[in-house]
Amino acid sequence: MTLLAVERIKLFSTRSPYWCTALALALGVGLTAIIAGTTDNGQMSIGLTQFGSSQLALAVVLVMSALAVTTEYRFSTIRATFLAVPNRTSALVAKTVVVAFIAAVLGEIIAFGSWGLAKVMSPASDLAINTGAEWRHVAGVGLLYGIGAVLAIAVGILVRQTAGAVAILLVWNMLLEGLIGIIPKVGVKIQAWLPFQNANHFLALPGGDPAEQPGAGIDFKLSQWGSLAYFAGIAIALLVVALIVAKRRDA
């Protein structure tokens, strides 16, 4: 508990988390506002409300999470941290828990904020959350952010540089996994096992227009919750590797 308090103090005594939170909110909810504003009243769907949260704002949250570690390396405060808490694994796990929790809460705020705004802007549309799939689609965004944060922190610990970690995360999430689908025949088969594709699969709404949804056309082998577990498994595996490396490496 002590270490969680330490990481909370550290995170909130600098400015970058505030900026990233504001930016994620603005982008996530903002995109929904634009979509709602340009869609005819009555035509909005729950799927359309979460485009901003599950795609655009997620990228900002990944960056925020990676920054929480890479700035520590950048300014050598990681050394001060390891002096105060020589057990590096517990120090870094505490940081991961705090950042992932904040990311998850932020995800719920953005998801329900987007949904609420769409409801106000497009009152004639059917945006009631009735089914389990619809709940998963909206409330699941927080889970996605939390797991994404773990993954981003792992990358941050391994790479130690802000520029490198951010580049890896953004290219991986926004470009690489999508581009692999271009490879003839095997592309979509590989995609079925890529972490962010599985994250999208978890959120996917059944029966919706497939072209509307990211990850359309991929033949996933896992159930939707299975995909989430798979995404989480990869994030945790990467974190374990990062923790082992951090423990062995000279600080």
- Among 3, 118, 199, 234, the residue binding another protein under the rule CB under 8 A is 3
Q: Which of 5, 163, 175, 244 binds another protein (CB under 8 A)?
A: 5
Among 26, 33, 59, 85, binds another protein (CB under 8 A): 85
Please pick, from the candidates 59, 121, 190, 251, the single residue that binds another protein as defined by CB under 8 A. 251
Interaction between residue 97 and another protein (CB under 8 A): no
Candidate list 71, 139, 189, 222; residue touching another protein; CB under 8 A: 71
Residue of 6, 23, 93, 97 interacting with another protein (CB under 8 A): 6
Window 108-137: contact mask with another protein (x via CB under 8 A): ------------------------------
Contact 228, 198 (CB under 8 A): yes
Q: Is 86 a residue that touches another protein (CB under 8 A)?
A: yes
Binding segment toward another protein, per CB under 8 A, in 22-30, 71-79, 102-110, 118-126: 71-79
CA distances, 167 to each of 24, 58, 73 (Å): 18, 14, 17
75, 89, 225, 245: which one contacts another protein (CB under 8 A)? 75
> Which pair of structure tokens corresponds to residue 128?
């009631």
Are the C-beta atoms of 144 and 199 separated by less than 8 Å? yes
Q: Which of 41, 43, 76, 89 binds another protein (CB under 8 A)?
A: 76
Task: Give the binding-site size for another protein (rule: CB under 8 A).
Answer: 26
Pick 85 or 105: Cβ nearer another protein: 85
CB neighbourhood size of 129 (10 A): 15
* Residue 206 CB partners (closer than 8 Å, separation 6+): 133
9 binds another protein (CB under 8 A): yes
Contact (CB, 8 A) for 79 and 170: no
* Count of beta carbons in the 10 Å neighbourhood of residue 90: 13
Quick one: CA torsion of 131, 136, 138, 141, rounded to 10 degrees? 180
Degrees to nearest 5, angle at CA 52 with 99 and 112: 70
| Residue 87 near another protein by CB under 8 A | yes
Q: Which x/- pattern over 23-62 shows residues binding another protein (rule: CB under 8 A)?
A: ----------------------------------------
End-to-end CA distance of the chain: 24
Q: Are 191 and 218 in contact (CB under 8 A)?
A: yes
Rule CB under 8 A: say whether 89 interacts with another protein.
no
How many Å is the Cα radius of gyration of the chain? 19
Tokens in use for 138?
Answer: 């909206």
Query: Residue numbers of the site for another protein (CB under 8 A)?
Result: 2-3, 5-6, 9-10, 13-16, 71, 75-77, 79-87, 248, 250-251
